[in-house]
Every structure is written in structure tokens, then in C-alpha cells.
Amino acid sequence: MTEKNVQELSREELLGLLADQETEIQNLKTELTAAQEEKRKRYKKKYWSTLRSTIATLVVVAAVAVLVAVLLLPVLRIYGTSMTDTLNNGDIVVSVKGTEVQTGDIIAFYYNNKILVKRVIASAGDWVDIDEDGTVSVNGEVLDEPYVTEKALGECDIDLPYQVPEGRVFVMGDHREVSLDSRSSSVGCVAEEEIVGKLIFRVWPLGAFGWIS
């Protein structure tokens, strides 16, 4: 529309054109608002869907982790000093269930509603003997025990030599002087069904992170 055509329009026509423009602008605003609202609803719907999916995934992962920790790989914290210097108070370790334990393995087992950690010294049928100075022999052969820093007879009230009963293992702590273990009749040998698992890995402290031997 040229300047001349505008000048030729009456006042009423100009007001009508302005009203039409205002209506069109208002319609555009309404459409834009509706589009923004629809976009917001879609985003909100997608957000909650993603959040629910994420939470569901985390719950499943946590449940699997708990099942693995309880059924296959129990995580344990060490209390006390009966296994020093191999394991120290406050260490966090991972054990594994369902594996056959052998002489030299470190195991966790139930005792009086507690979990104790000791080293397997002998298996069912083996004869264990301990000298006054703490030297341990199994079936007449002296054990090579590099994990023991100080030998000691410790709290021992069993008759030596001692034969390990069927279905049980004879255990001792590496800190022989303070450890309460199979040398004491109050603890005795550990039944296979009482074993929680074999300790295989230390995860804390980070400076000692690694396999347990």
C-alpha cells in the first residue's frame, strides 16, 4: 500500500486496519503461547519419563548389587587386631562364597552372632601340633608361615596333637598372641556351613588396595 493510498483512506478505515492488525498480533501471541505451553508439557512429560526410567534403573542396579554382595561377594569390615599384620582394624575387604577353602586361605565365619576372620591352618582329618614357642606343624610337617611376624602358643587349651573333625577346618589368627581361635575350646574348629566366604580382595584403605594373601 503506497503513501497516497494510505492518505486516501478514511479515519474509520484506518482504525479498522489497525484493529485487524491488533487482532492478528493477538492471534499470533495466542498461538505462540499455546506452542510454548505444548512444548513445556512435552518437556515435562519427557523429563518425568526420563526421571522414572533413571530411578527404575538405579533401583535395579542397587538391588543387583545388594544381591551380589549378600549372595556371592559379601563385603566385610575388619575389627580388632587378631589378623595383623595381614589385615588391620578398619580394613574393608571383599569375600567370595561357594569356593572350596584350602590351607592358607583367610576365611570369615559365624561365631556367636558375630563374624570372625581367621586363616585356615588345617582341614578335616589333619593332625595339628603347636610347640611351646608357637611353631605349628600339620601332619608332622612344620608350616611355612611368612604371614606371622611373632609366634606364640596363645590361648590354647586343647589337647595336642589335635585331629580336625570331619566337615570342619582348624583356623588361627595371624597375630598369634592375641587371637582367639581354634586353639581355644570356646571357639573350636569351624564347620563348613558356618563359613561366610573366603577373603580375596581389600578395597580400603586405598594404599593397601589389592589381593589378599
Residue 116's pLDDT is what?
95
Residue 47's pLDDT is what?
75
| SS3 state of residue 34 | helix
CB 190 within 8 A of CB 209: no
Q: Check if 185 is active-site.
A: no
Residue 186's pLDDT is what?
93
Dist. CA 173–CA 179, nearest whole Å: 5
Residue 36's pLDDT is what?
83
User: Annotated catalytic residue: which of 82, 95, 123, 179?
Assistant: 82
- In order along its 213 residues, the chain shows pLDDT tens digits of 444 444 556 777 767 777 777 788 888 888 888 878 888 888 777 777 777 777 756 655 444 444 444 445 788 999 999 999 999 999 999 998 877 899 999 999 999 989 999 999 999 999 999 999 999 999 999 999 999 999 999 999 999 999 999 999 999 999 999 999 999 999 999 999 999 999 999 999 999 999 998
CB 213 within 8 A of CB 109: no
Cis peptide upstream of residue 105 (ω within 30 degrees of 0): no
**pTM of whole model > 0.75?**
no
Q: Cell numbers of 95, please?
A: 569375600
- Contacts with 115 (C-beta within 8 Å, 6 or more apart), sequence order: 76, 108, 109, 196
CB 106 within 8 A of CB 80: no
Q: Which of 171, 165, 130 is nearest to 151 (CA)?
A: 130
Q: Cell numbers of 141, please?
A: 610337617
Residue 4's pLDDT is what?
47
- Contacts with 185 (C-beta within 8 Å, 6 or more apart), sequence order: 157, 158
CB 108 within 8 A of CB 79: no
